[in-house]
A = this chain, B = another copy of it.
Amino acid sequence: MPAYTAPLEDMRFVVHELLADERLQSLPGNEEFSADVLDAVLEEAARFCASVLQPLNRSGDEQGCLFENGVVRTPDGFKDAYREFAAGGWTGLAADNDYGGQGLPETMDALVNEMLCASNLSFAIYPGLSHGAYRLIRRYASEAQRNAWLPPLVEGRWSGTMCLTEPQCGTDLGLIRTHATPRGDDVFALNGAKCFISAGEHDLTENILHLVLARTPDAPPGTGGLSVFLVPKFTINADGTLGPRNGITCGNIEHKMGLNASATCTLNFDDAQGFLVGGLHQGMRVMFTMMNGARLAVALHGIGIAEAAYQGAVAYARERRQGRALDGPRSPEQAADSILVHPDVRRMLLGMRSQIEGARALSTWVAARYVHAQRNPDAQARDDAHDLVSLLTPILKAYCTDMGSEAANLGVQIYGGHGYIREHGMEQLVRDARVCQIYEGANGVQAMDLVGRKLPAHAGRYLRRFFQPVAAFIADNSDNGDLTEFVAPLSEAFALLQKATRWIAENGTRDPNEAGAAASEYLRLFALVAMAFMWARMARIALASESKNKFYRGKLATARFYMQRVLPQTASLYACIVAGGSSIADFEDEAF
């Protein structure tokens, strides 16, 4: 079974060196978070993940959740682990002090979440959704509601869910049928059925706050007629204590490919009491707060799984002896060399590593920008940061989750036949990672969000928030000879991205199917350039560092691999984009 140790050295590098320019400590509310404090948080999270969560990952997969008479039981050990997790303050890590949270910047939340996902993704789903519910309630609920709902959520006594999907509607939320009938005073009676609701029912918390997208009577058709309602599992008395059970029942849990310890529920609403949050017919706008946060969180699912797979594969590659190095035995005293000597094994490991570290840098940068979007005293700075986060959210969600599956599969491949056997734990990573490409908006939907909404937004303003710093970095570093091997490929790939963007702007305006046909390849091209930007910045730091220790040497070497062996994918993606979509659009439906 792969052991997992949080990559603290790399996380510290990202926070303290790569993102030093972000000056997060200068923002209001962050002043007290010295480097030492942040490091201590990361170390404590690492300890908790290694000692408590990771040991439950395999057993949780084998045992799964149990559904019986409407009750869902999580696997053995999950309740105790959750209790310890909440007691440690982790449920409120990035929540405001006002509601009992730790108030740490979201960069910390992102890194700790990566650790949770790497050690036990099924477990991470439960508190992950609570934090999304926290954000939504904090932003859109009334003061009285915030005071009533947020403290127990932050404390971890209650948890949250996101109820969107119904049997007939996933991507197309306009088809939602669940309806909410007014009962006076922003109180509604909800009726309908939701499916695929993660953490919809479980035994970890005293209460569950469901955030439900539903339709009110006489609402306009489509998504414009949807509103968000908070529907608690147990009704809540005026004094905050729990009242009788609300009209929500869990009809079943799904039997899935993976994530067996995460309960995926069918929920039936039968005159359930719900509270309107964020205004009538504002459901999409309100829910998108939670959804965008969830999309960034899902990117971390991908990175976490990939890191777990990488660590497992490295350990196995060191220990497994098969064959000899092509240029002569490395361990002549042994019957065979370790498979780490084989170029193809190293290629797979470096493919994983270069994408994981690049993605960690990129996602933490976006988390830092998110902190600016929330806390920067300057309105323009907040808006600029928000633009970049909006642009990169679908890119991170899709790229990191594709990468998570790819890395998990490479992990199995390096293990060979042993990787296919359940007891070694590597195949579980493949099964668990797979859904990340689907939930919170399938990756193709992310690509459409990018080309259909984010590119044209405000005449390309979002895009400029990314293109400008990249262009500036290239210009600033074009004279640095030592950096040429990193800046030159970045510059070339960036030029392709700019050309592809123009191509889509021109052709997609003329024919939206052209944008649709190019979307997935464009998203990947964009992601690879964004990762190259991160790698060039990391290489610059590593080159400039006075320390030439193993860590910095490894950083430089990984950057080199990324530029030489991963980034060239951009050429093919560009060629596919500009080949256009006629071969897709013209294909006769009947011929499929």
Interfacial residues, chain A to chain B (CB-CB below 8 A): 165, 168-172, 174-175, 196, 254-258, 314, 317-318, 321-323, 326-327, 335-336, 340, 342-350, 353, 405, 409, 412-413, 416-417, 419-423, 427, 430-431, 434-435, 437-439, 442-444, 447-448, 511-513, 515-517, 519-520, 550-551, 553-554, 557-558, 560-561, 564-565, 568-573, 575-576, 579-581, 583-592
Contacts and interface: CB of A to CB of B under 8 A. Distances in A.
Contacts of A437: 413
A584 B343 contact: yes
Nearest to A447: B344
B579 A568 contact: yes
Given A314-B592, A423-B255, A587 B344 contact: no
A352 to B, nearest CB: 10
Given A256-B421, A257-B431, A434-B430, A583 B511 contact: no
Contacts of A516: 326, 342-344
Given A584-B343, A592-B340, A420 B448 contact: no
Contacts of A405: 409
A205 to B, nearest CB: 24
A425 B576 CA distance: 31
Q: How many copies does the complex hold?
A: 2
A575 B579 contact: no
A421 B254 contact: yes
B420 A434 contact: yes
A271 B177 CA distance: 69
B431 A413 contact: no
A412 B434 contact: yes
Given A255-B423, A568-B576, A569-B572, A550 B434 contact: no
Nearest to A421: B254
B568 A575 contact: yes
A34 to B, nearest CB: 29
Contact of A417 (B438, B551, B584): B438
Given A256-B422, A347-B517, A421-B254, A579 B550 contact: no
Given A322-B171, A419-B438, A413 B444 contact: yes
Contacts of A592: 314, 317-318, 340, 349, 353
Contacts of A565: 576, 579, 583-584
Given A438-B420, A557-B586, A348 B444 contact: yes
Given A196-B417, A413-B437, A557-B591, 11 more contacts: A255-B421, A405-B409, A409-B434, A412-B438, A413-B444, A419-B438, A431-B431, A557-B587, A568-B575, A568-B576, A572-B572
A347 B521 CA distance: 10
25 contacts: A170-B417, A171-B416, A196-B417, A255-B422, A255-B423, A256-B422, A257-B422, A326-B516, A343-B581, A344-B516, A344-B520, A345-B444, A346-B587, A353-B592, A409-B434, A413-B442, A417-B435, A417-B439, A553-B591, A554-B588, A554-B591, A557-B591, A564-B583, A565-B579, A571-B571
A505 to B, nearest CB: 15
A501 B505 CA distance: 39
A579 to B, nearest CB: 4
Contacts of A427: 256-257, 434
Nearest to A349: B592
B430 A413 contact: no
Contacts of A421: 254-257
Nearest to A313: B592
Contacts of A515: 326
Nearest to A348: B444
A568 B557 contact: no
A455 to B, nearest CB: 14
Contacts of A175: 322, 335-336
A327 B512 contact: yes
B591 A322 contact: no
Which 7 A/B pairs are nearest by Cβ-Cβ distance? Answer: A343-B516, A554-B591, A568-B575, A326-B512, A257-B427, A572-B572, A344-B444
Contacts of A558: 587
A448 to B, nearest CB: 7
Nearest to A322: B172
A139 B590 CA distance: 47
Contacts of A258: 420
Best-buried of A254, A412, A443, A571 by chain B (most CB within 10 Å): A571
Contacts of A344: 444, 447-448, 516-517, 519-520
A478 to B, nearest CB: 21
A350 B584 contact: yes
Given A343-B517, A343-B519, A323 B171 contact: yes
A545 B442 CA distance: 41
B588 A553 contact: yes
Contacts of A583: 350, 557, 560-561, 564-565
A311 to B, nearest CB: 10
A340 B591 CA distance: 12
Given A344-B520, A421-B255, A579 B564 contact: yes
A409 B408 CA distance: 13
